[in-house]
Homo-oligomer: A and B are copies of this chain.
Amino acid sequence: MTAPVYIHGIGMTKFGSFEDKALKDLLIEASKEAIKDAGVSKIDAVFVGNFMGGSLSNQEILGAIVANDLGLGYIPTAKLEGACASGGIALRQGVLSIMSGEYETVLVVGAEKMKHASTSTVTQVINTAMDQSTNEKEAGLTFPGYFGTVANRYFYETGASKEHLAKVALKNRENAMNNPYAQFQKPTTIDEILNARMVTDPLGLFDCSPITDGGAAVVLSSKPSNIKVRASAQASGPTLMQDAKDLLSLPAVRVSGEKVYEKAGLGPEDIDVVEIHDCFSMTEILSSEELGFFPKLQGWQGVNEGKTRVDGEIPINTSGGLLSKGHPIGATGIAQIYQLVRQLRGNAPNQLTKQPTIALAQNLGGTGAYSVVHILERV
């Protein structure tokens, strides 16, 4: 089914470190911009994407806080959590709620405030996105540990090396340099990336998405606009490394991609511009394969040949991606939409020279526990 849902407004904060802004300030700032951009006077419901507000800011009930602070009236609100896919899941619930006929216009907003906490605290809270009841917790597995293992296996199975991961990180940094909202805009080089501090072999500092404060919002409506949500799809996958049948597969990404193409009546060859959840450089490559942009185990060659660059065949993460735009968890899935809507409107950072009409966003949660994919269309 094609979702009769349209995007009317987008907003986001700069991504970075904001000592003087509370979690709710980030939500409100992004929301106000999206509502202003949409030019709407009435919002029927609010969906919030957030992952660590309870743990790091002692703040839940974010839905009600947004509705109250924006003076939206006694409207229904809720928070959605699906680890790093919280924003994409909130977006999808907004889409489904409009499809249900219950609401005409909804605000979807995601944010995370992380920079005030210590790195070890953030690492512990991120680990709540793995199943904590198992020996993997006892063994001390972390997210960089997981994707580092995956990268080593990928190198073993293919001809890829640390240099190909570095090319992903460099591409995304070069894109971020043109994006004023990005956390990191400082130029870098392949050598700097290859020689950076190791996080988990083979992933160095530039291969890992950072800790970030930020927010992003979108206003959806059943009333037509020139940006349509052509399809929305979601899937889940293993919550444990030991349950992965193939370390080089992300079934949630593959299945969510298959579903979204089926719903949209499109294939990967029809997509003009993509935002992929590059929590690690390795993850961008794997997911680009699972979404059909490259054959299995050949994504690294696409990167090597520059195909995923802004001027390539299938531009991926023109925003700078999680790696360089930043990764304020609850905002991430919605910030992907922000960048793609600007591409479809023709005024994005790193705007494609040939105006895109079909865009795809993929948001991952956990080590592959969640994947949400949306296809947007300029109509």
Contacts and interface: CB of A to CB of B under 8 A. Distances in A.
Interface of A: 1, 22, 24, 51-55, 57-61, 63-65, 67-68, 74-83, 89, 92-93, 96-97, 99-102, 124-125, 127-133, 234-240, 243, 251-252, 255, 365-366, 369-370
B82 A81 contact: no
Contact of A61 (B67, B102, B128, B255): B128
A89 B100 contact: no
Given A67-B236, A82-B77, A234-B76, A58 B96 contact: no
A75 B128 CA distance: 20
Contacts of A60: 51, 81, 83, 128-129
Contacts of A64: 82, 236-237, 239, 365-366, 369-370
B235 A61 contact: no
Contacts of A76: 92, 234-236
A68 B243 contact: yes
A373 to B, nearest CB: 11
B22 A133 contact: yes
A102 B102 contact: no
Nearest to A80: B78
A352 to B, nearest CB: 31
